[in-house]
Amino acid sequence: MNQLVNGASFVTVIFSGRMTLALIMGFAAGLPLLLTMSVLQAWMTEEGVDLTVIGLVSLVQIPYTWKVLWAPFLDRYAILDLGRRRGWLLLSQAALIISIAGLGLCNPSSNFTLMVLAALLVAFFSASQDIVIDAYRRETLADDELGLGSSLYINGYRIGMMLSSGGGLILADHMAWSNVYLIMAAFMLPCLLTTLLAPEPEMPLGKPRTLQEAVIDPLSEYFHRRNALLILAFILCYKIGDSMASAMTTPFYLDIGFTKSQIGAIVKIFGTGAVIGGALVGGLLMLWLGINRSLWVFGVLQALSTACFAILAQIGPNLKALAGVIAFENVSSGMGTAAFVAYMASITNKKFTATQYALLTSLMAFPRVLASAPTGYFAKYLGWTEFFVFCALIAIPGLLMLIRIAPFNRK
C-alpha cells in the first residue's frame, strides 16, 4: 500500500486536491437526486395527492436515463470563458440552485403542474451536471487514481443524498416545505464556488470540432473496439443480482418479522455508513489491486453477500444476524460500485469523455429499473431463500465476462 501511484506517494494521492474535488463534486451530484423523489413524495403525501399520481410523478427522473442525448453538445462547446467543463458545470449548478428554490415555491396541491415542470427542470439540470462531473473526474485523474477518486465521489454522493433526504425530512417537521427547498438550494452554493476555483482539465487529445465529431465519432470510436458489445453486456449484468435483491429487501425484512424501527436503525442508518465505508475501502484497495482485480474480488464478494440474505431467511428476525448481513452486503456493494464506476471511467476516450461516459451510465441505469420489475413475482413464486440464492447465481454471467474484458492477471 506504500507503493507510488503515478509517481506520487500513496498519502500524497489521498490528500491531493484532485481527490477533494471528487468528494465535493460527488456531494453536488447526490444532493438534488432525492429532492425530486422521496422528499417530493413525502411533500405530496402530506398535501393529500393521490398515491397513483405520486407514482407517476417519478417519471420526472427520465433525464437521468436519456442524458446521452445532449452529452455531445457538452463535449463540443465551451461556454462562459471558463473552459469546456467548468463553464457547463457552473451553468448547471446555477440553474440547479434556481430550479430547486423554484420547486419549493410550487405547492403540490395548488400548483401541481408547475411543481411537475419545476421537478423536471431539477432532474434535467442535475443529469446535465452529472455528465460534466463524470467527464471532469475522468480527465483530471490518472488511470491508477480512478479507483480512489470514484470511491470518494460515491461517498460524496451518498452524503449529499443523506443530507437532502434525511435532513430534508427532519427539517420539514419544523418548517415549511418551501424553506426546506430553499435551504437545499443554498447547500449548492459551496459547490458552485468550488467550480469557480477548480482548474480546467487539460485536453491533450483536443475536443470535437463539429457536432458530427461530437455525436458520431464517440460512438464510432467505441464500437470499433475489440469486445465493445461484450463490455456493454457486462455493464448490464455486473450488478444485476445485487439490484434485484435490493429491490425486495424491505418487504423481506418486514415479512420475516423485523419492525420498521429496527429496519430504519440498522438498514438505513447503520447500512448507509457501511456503504460509505465500503466505497472508501474499495477505493484504497484499488490503488493496490488495480481495477481489473478489484472487479473480480468485489464482484465475488457482492454475490456472496447476496447469498447471505438466504441465510438470514432461515435464521429469522435476529438483530445481530441482520446487522452482520447488512454490514457485509453494504460494504461489498460499496466496494463493487466503486470498482464498477472506475472501470467505466477508465474505458472512455478523453476526447469524448462526456458522451461515452453518459452512454455507459445510462446503460447502467436500465437493469436497475427493468430487472427489478419482476422481483416481486420471483420472490412470491420461489420463496425468500430460493429467491436470494437465485440473485446470487445470476451474478455469475457478469463475472465470467471479466475473463475476456478484464483478466485477473492484469491490473
Q: Which residues contact 160 (CB under 8 A, 6 or more apart)?
A: 26, 27, 28, 29, 30, 31, 33
pLDDT at 264 over 70: no
By C-alpha distance, which of 23, 32, 391, 55 is closest to 198? Answer: 23
Question: For 171-182, how does the pLDDT look when each residue is reduced to its tens digit (9 = 90+)?
Answer: 888 899 999 999
End-to-end CA distance of the chain: 15
- For residue 202, what is the DSSP state? P
Q: Which residue has the cell 429467491?
A: 387
CA distance 189 to 352: 29
pLDDT at 65 over 60: yes
Coil, strand or helix at 224: coil
Strand partners, 8: 5
For position 368, what pLDDT does the model report? 57
Domains belonging to the chain, first-starting first, are: 1-202 (1.20.1250.20), 208-411 (1.20.1250.20)
Question: For 315-328, how does the pLDDT look when each residue is reduced to its tens digit (9 = 90+)?
Answer: 988 988 988 998 88
* Least confident interval from 3-17, 174-188, 308-322: 3-17
- Average pLDDT of span 291-313: 92
For position 77, what pLDDT does the model report? 86
- Report which secondary-structure segment, H or E, holds 23: helix 17-30
For position 114, what pLDDT does the model report? 95
CA distance 251 to 133: 35
Name the region of 16 (left: φ>0; alpha: ψ -120 to 50; beta: rest): beta
pLDDT at 165 over 80: no
- The answer to whether 85 touches 139, Cβ cutoff 8 Å, is yes
Mean pLDDT: which of 136-140, 167-171, 263-267, 347-351 is highest?
Answer: 136-140
pLDDT at 255 over 70: yes
CA distance 57 to 40: 9
CA distance 65 to 238: 18
Predicted model pTM: 0.76
Q: CB 184: neighbour CB atoms within 10 A?
A: 26
Question: For 68-114, how does the pLDDT look when each residue is reduced to its tens digit (9 = 90+)?
Answer: 889 888 888 888 888 889 999 999 999 999 999 999 999 998 889 99
